[in-house]
Amino acid sequence: MSLEEVGIVQEIKGPMAIVAVERKNSCEACPGGSLCKAVGGGEGRIEALNNAHAKVDDTVRVALKPYTYLKGAALVYGVPSLALIIGAVIGKEHLSRLFPSLDPDLASAVGGFGLFALSFLVMKIVSGRLSAKKEYMPVVEEILNQKR
């Protein structure tokens, strides 16, 4: 089973196809934001491996493996949440010792939000590297309607 979208090929770039798909309400919470670029008119654009050898204006089915989606969700939501908790503990235990005049709760907040913000920088770097790997990319699996 995989997550699937139906769209129209807008452009071919080597082994990749740029596919226009209708954006849905579920797009708002999708962790694959780097895979789908918003354009006007309620449309999204997905860059996908063109395994079906589709051509411009073909209607195609694009699939994304569920484990890829789950890994993305874990990274996008899990890592920053964990960083916030770890930073809060470190702030309360260590920052409050380094700065005795600082309220321990304030030290906890500074540590938590500091590590939380740093985690976004790390996630930006990691997601850029992962999005370049073929196993994490959406794939054009089938041509549903060919334009001649």
Instruction: Give residue-wise pLDDT tens across range 9-20.
Output: 999 999 999 999
In this predicted model, what pLDDT tens digit does every residue of 40-69 receive, in sequence order? 456 788 888 998 999 999 999 998 877 776
Given the DSSP bridges, would you call strands 36-39 and 3-13 parallel, antiparallel or unpaired?
A: unpaired
Tokens found for residue 99: 């700065």
Alpha-carbon torsion, ordered 57, 32, 136, 46, to 10 deg? 10
In this predicted model, what pLDDT tens digit does every residue of 75-116 receive, in sequence order? 888 999 999 999 999 999 999 899 989 899 999 999 999 999
pLDDT reported for residue 75: 81
Non-local (6+) Cβ contacts of 60 within 8 A are 6, 7, 8, 9, 17, 19, 52, 54, 140, 141, 142, 143, 144
Give the Cα separation of 41 and 60 in Å (integer): 20
pLDDT reported for residue 94: 92
How many CB atoms are closer than 10 A to CB 50?
Answer: 22
In this predicted model, what pLDDT tens digit does every residue of 29-42 receive, in sequence order? 555 554 455 444 56
pLDDT reported for residue 38: 47
Tokens found for residue 81: 């949440």
The domains found in the chain, sorted by start residue, are 3-66+134-145 (2.40.50), 69-131 (no CATH)
Kindly report whether the global pTM for this prediction surpasses the value 0.85.
Answer: no
Residue with tokens 């920088």: 121
